[in-house]
Structure 1
Amino acid sequence: MITPDYYYVIVGGGLAGLQLALRINRDLFFKGKKIAIIEPSDKSENDKTWCFWEEGRGNWDHLISREWKRGKFISSEVSEDLDLKPYSYKMLNSLDFYDHVKAELESSDDIFFIQDKITRIDQVTRTALGENAKYTATHFFDSRPPSEFENDEKCAVIYQHFKGIKIKTENAHFDPEVFTMMDYRIKYKESTCFTYILPTSKNEALVEFTFFTPYLTEEAVYDNKLEEYIRDILNIKNYEIIESEKGVIPMTDYPFHKFNTDYLTRIGTAGGWVKASSGYSFKNTETKVEQLIDNIKSGLRPSANLMNKKFQRYDAIFLDVLEKRNDLGESLFTKFYTKNSIQDIFRFLDEETSFSEELKIMMSLYHPQFLKSFFKKI
């Protein structure tokens, strides 16, 4: 039998691929196993901002650029103050993460970074075909989402799409101790859209206009809504744009797990690791990586027990509601944040609640469309 080039090939050097490689590199169980991380980009730009909530100190505190203990939820009708304690809401710039993880991995004799784009993985020959070369391995971890999920009529697909700009003002306009989770006062047609603010000082903040919709839109829409929010809500006339970011995150109940085999494991967005009802991925990825590592060390298929079916059903119901009645978004999130404590919300989104707690939260969101979606999905 021909010896493969690598023990593992990780396709994609983003959040999931690098967290997985870092965790493998730190475990003596994998010592001596050659691992390739194949990524078309050199990951030298700050292409996104990750945020997550966490109790106390965490594994990434040395990298976070800001954290908050207080937040706000604002709709057309209410303004709710959110006291997060004992949680903190933490902000991490992607370039800081990339640079830190790559620096540690590049010092390892077992990790190899390869800049290439994988076009296909042949599981029979256990070969990943790239534009520049081919690579063999005993197992592949693939972060490329399958194209099929966007065309499956049985599944709901909501896109979290956004543009954010980091602005600097001449005068103090922000409270750096309070972030805004959602502000629904600026609207776009009958859609679920809101503004998200991460203030880093009294005169600097990331202001992001975000959609949860079944469709995408033109960049001019984000620009117009950001300008409107900054002018009419924040009452800022003069500001400098320091940097900007934009992205599209699919939130779907598509069964990504059906692509997992004995020789290939889908990770990240491609594995369904993005929380389908919220779009958050950073801490979810950390949790999935830990389970995956435990599976390997226990002799199980790497993808075993990665997904919680009960919470997948909850997510599926919520997504179906937003897909069928996207105009309900503001009303649903207003109920979510005003009828439940932020601590219970975090625990629910982290999939740590009991059934009675989950029932209370689901009942707080009641609308006739929920019954239709419930019977459709359950």
Structure 2
Amino acid sequence: MAAVEELRADVALVGVGAAGGSLLRQLVRGGRARAGDRPLQVVALEPPAGAGQRSPERSWCTWGPPGWRHDADVALRWSRVRVVDAAGGAVDARLDPEEYRLVRSGDFEAAVAAECAAAQGVELRTAVVEAVQDSPAGALVRARTPGGGELLVRARWVLDSRPPVLPEHVPAGRTVLLQHFRGWRVRCPGPVFDPGAATLMDFRVPQPARGAAFAYVLPASAHEALVEHTVFSADAWPAAAHEEALGRYLREVLGVDGWEVLGAEAGVIPMTDVPLPARAGASVFRLGAAAGAVRPSTGYAFAAVQRQVDAVVAALAAGEEPLAPLPHRRRHLAMDAVLLRALDSGAVAGGELFARLFARVPAPVLLRFLDGRSSVAEDLAVMAAAPRVAMLRTVGALLLRAPARRRSAAGPGDARGVPPGR
């Protein structure tokens, strides 16, 4: 009979990725997890490497001014961004004093583990969580250790940062798209890439009937870059289809004769206006993508996760329940809902829309909008750059709560267990 181990904690954290790791770091700054002036006991659970419940290593990107609190984790950074339309016309913009930056999940998670090992009050355990539920004195987490034993964690609060599960049936008036991608870290024999610029979207790839497709290029040098093929659509593509598109892009668009694949990344990110509540029980709360951190219009989440983490840390310090707030402004979510429906219904061509926005709105303003830091005046500038007739018709459809296009049976399942945004 397998052994049963029981632990007690103030906070049990499920998942130590972008959201869970960021929370741990903020809790142990100063060398000890604390709730105000009181020491805090935290047990964090993460599946073992290679387990199906654990996301593979991947890259997270965000942008903002210098002096970022995770600056030591940044592997690559760029002061210029580029968007290329289907005809090859490029918008190349400087972000100074801001920057676009990439953090590798493996580096980030290693730094979190090192900080927690040097701090008091945090215990990191390797286990696969099987159930999370309320209990009379708080909440209970049931997990399975690599050796097959049962681990029970009884805590006052549980923060669950595992990826969201999409509804099988999309509510009327709501939209669910999937951002699915596959990327190669390639090394080319000759100079191919501009190491000073991150290409956020290159639309010189075949476009789907509804949604959008583009290449995403993050150079490390003139010879090496992470090159991804990304699609916004109702259902995810198989890996082979993405890899065929990647090969065609490298050969036919960038003119590369040969390359070496150093590594690969893949993911499926939900882009939806379906509400994802942060409360999952009386003492159980969600954090990160499962609590709505993913920006519906882009799939980015890392910056929003930091806003949630700050609020949760402040709540714990005050002795209050750690309920993560919605990290996006309601007007931005309303604009995102219109964009998602316009893409999903085919009211606008995604490639044309995004290229038009970057051509008509200064890149720093558009990135502030996508990050949720834009002013009302800047939001109005973004709205003015969009195709008005198509967007007004889409608003009408949303107000009438017209049903969304039906998803295939494979759609929601493909999005389960995905990493939290780019």
Coarse TM-score class (shorter-chain normalised): over 0.9
**1:17-166 alignment, distance < 5 Å:** 17-26=20-29, 29-30=34-35, 32-42=39-49, 47-77=57-87, 78-125=89-136, 126-131=139-144, 132-154=150-172, 155-166=174-185
Q: Give the C-alpha shift of residue 252 in structure 1.
A: 1.2
Mind listing any 5+ residue stretches in structure 2 that lack a counterpart? 1-5, 145-149, 400-422
Rounded to whole Å, the distance in 2 between the matches of 1:171 and 1:200 is 14
Superposed CA offset, 1:130-174 (max 9, x none): 233222110010123453534332331111110110111112222
Rounded to whole Å, the distance in 1 between the matches of 2:169 and 2:162 is 16
Give the match for residue 291 of structure 1.
311
3-state SS in 2 of match to 1:273: coil
3-state SS in 2 of match to 1:140: strand
Q: Give the C-alpha shift of residue 32 in structure 1.
A: 2.6
Please tell me whether the aligned partners of residues 309 and 324 of structure 2 are also in contact (alpha carbons under 8 angstroms): no
Please tell me whether the aligned partners of residues 73 and 79 of structure 1 are also in contact (alpha carbons under 8 angstroms): yes
Mind listing any 5+ residue stretches in structure 1 that lack a counterpart? none
**1:219-368 alignment, distance < 5 Å:** 219-257=239-277, 259-303=279-323, 305-307=325-327, 308-325=329-346, 328-368=349-389
3-state SS in 2 of match to 1:102: helix
3-state SS in 2 of match to 1:50: strand
Rounded to whole Å, the distance in 1 between the matches of 2:379 and 2:248 is 37
3-state SS in 1 of match to 2:12: strand
Rounded to whole Å, the distance in 2 between the matches of 1:146 and 1:210 is 20
Rounded to whole Å, the distance in 2 between the matches of 1:130 and 1:322 is 40
Please tell me whether the aligned partners of residues 262 and 301 of structure 1 are also in contact (alpha carbons under 8 angstroms): no
Rounded to whole Å, the distance in 2 between the matches of 1:311 and 1:261 is 27
Rounded to whole Å, the distance in 1 between the matches of 2:299 and 2:9 is 33
- Partner letter of residue 110 of structure 1? G
Q: Give the C-alpha shift of residue 288 in structure 1.
A: 1.6
Please tell me whether the aligned partners of residues 198 and 206 of structure 1 are also in contact (alpha carbons under 8 angstroms): yes
RMSD: 2.3
Rounded to whole Å, the distance in 1 between the matches of 2:299 and 2:267 is 12
Deviating more after overlay: 346-355 vs 224-233: 346-355
What is the aligned-residue identity percentage? 27
Change over 3 Å in CA distance of 1:221–1:124 after alignment to 2 = same
Rounded to whole Å, the distance in 2 between the matches of 1:257 and 1:219 is 31
3-state SS in 1 of match to 2:228: strand
Change over 3 Å in CA distance of 1:313–1:261 after alignment to 2 = farther
Q: Give the C-alpha shift of residue 348 in structure 1.
A: 1.1
- Partner letter of residue 260 of structure 2? E
- Partner letter of residue 231 of structure 2? F
Please tell me whether the aligned partners of residues 274 and 281 of structure 1 are also in contact (alpha carbons under 8 angstroms): yes
Please tell me whether the aligned partners of residues 10 and 155 of structure 2 are also in contact (alpha carbons under 8 angstroms): yes
The total of aligned residue pairs comes to 376
Q: Give the C-alpha shift of residue 203 in structure 1.
A: 0.8
Change over 3 Å in CA distance of 1:45–1:334 after alignment to 2 = closer
What is the TM-score when the length of structure 2 is the normalising length?
0.83
Change over 3 Å in CA distance of 1:367–1:331 after alignment to 2 = farther
Q: Give the C-alpha shift of residue 111 in structure 1.
A: 1.0
Q: Give the C-alpha shift of residue 258 in structure 1.
A: 6.0
Please tell me whether the aligned partners of residues 159 and 214 of structure 1 are also in contact (alpha carbons under 8 angstroms): yes
Larger relative contact order (C-alpha < 8 A, sep ≥ 6)? 2
- Partner letter of residue 180 of structure 2? H
